[in-house]
Structure 1
Amino acid sequence: MDFHPIAGVVWYAIGRFYEALDGKVQDLGYFAHLGGLSPLFNGPPGEATAFFTFRSEPFSTQTLQNGDLSVSLDTTGRFTLYLQREPRGDFSRPETFSQGEPIATFERLSIAVGTSVGPLSSNLFSAALRSSVDFTHGGKSWNLARLIPEGITQLGTGSTTALPPPQGYTRVLPFVGSALALGGNVRGR
């Protein structure tokens, strides 16, 4: 009898949350694993060599306190994955993560809840695939709708220690995220 998992890890994301002067937040970064796509980097792994990046639309957050836990409620919103044919991601220049070819857009299905205590934070959210296009990479044709047709559920771990923000931002926090493919009909339509 063959074993077929209900869900599998489809990506590992490395990114940062950026809080703008108006209080809105966005996240952006790159992928250390994305389905079976290869190669992921044009040289030693890092943001400057990543072929696949992501960036969210700005969203609002609300913070609640529960003892020593700080709970963040993030509104629903969209984020886009990009193919960077000439990688040049630079965390000091957030716009570099969205200068490639858009290959897929996802939408969080509900508010995202994040929790912080001490030096670490965590969050969990699901996002439906809303659009994707065919693209060629590594000599093969791809479309994320074939890899993750329903979307993902991502568990993220972050640091509460802020990094120096670039101009136009008040705070930057690093994170990593691991996503599983969603199954069934969860598109929320």
Structure 2
Amino acid sequence: MGDMYTKVGAWLTAHGIDPLTVPIDSDLHIEEGAAGRELHYEAFVLDADGRKVADERGNLYVEPRAVPLTAEPPKHWQPFRKPTVQQVEAERDKAYRERAHFVAHLASLYPSQIAYTDPDSPDWAVVTIEGPTGQMSWHVAPDDMDLFAHVEWQNGLVLPWDGHTTEQKYERLQQLTIRPKRGL
């Protein structure tokens, strides 16, 4: 790995780029530009004295840059582009959907109800399941509500929350998982 960093550093230097100004997780790829192939990368924003510029929280500013490609990349080099916000959100939503399928199934096995009960997340319903190992609850994304048509809706009268934490919820789920199977 260190050898590849050295080779990529030399390649950047050959393009007039100081490798120390390029973040380790920088976008680094080749694109076709108006004047030919270009090396696209991100670099730290530097002040007049060559120091990296940061915001009030200490996050370093980076900016996209491009230079004409004058040398081919090192052997085994792989282009890299950080995922976009939209790609990250799509992956997150996919994970929420998977979890929602599981919770919907669990809600079909035990007494459960769903209601809008969290003032901090008013658009997300909360499904509460009363399992044999104790109460468990999950927030449900608005896009996943179609999976919960079988769960009893509550407008005002809801099962009182027993105060369980996330850790307790997953301990209860683990206990439910390892219970002896009956009737199989």
TM-score, shorter chain, exceeding 0.5: no
Please say which structure displays the higher CA radius of gyration: 2
Please indicate the TM-score interval, normalised by the length of the shorter structure.
Answer: under 0.3
Which structure shows the higher helix fraction? 2
Output the TM-score relative to the length of structure 1.
0.22
Greater relative contact order structure (CA < 8 Å, 6+ sep): 1
Which structure shows the higher strand fraction? 1
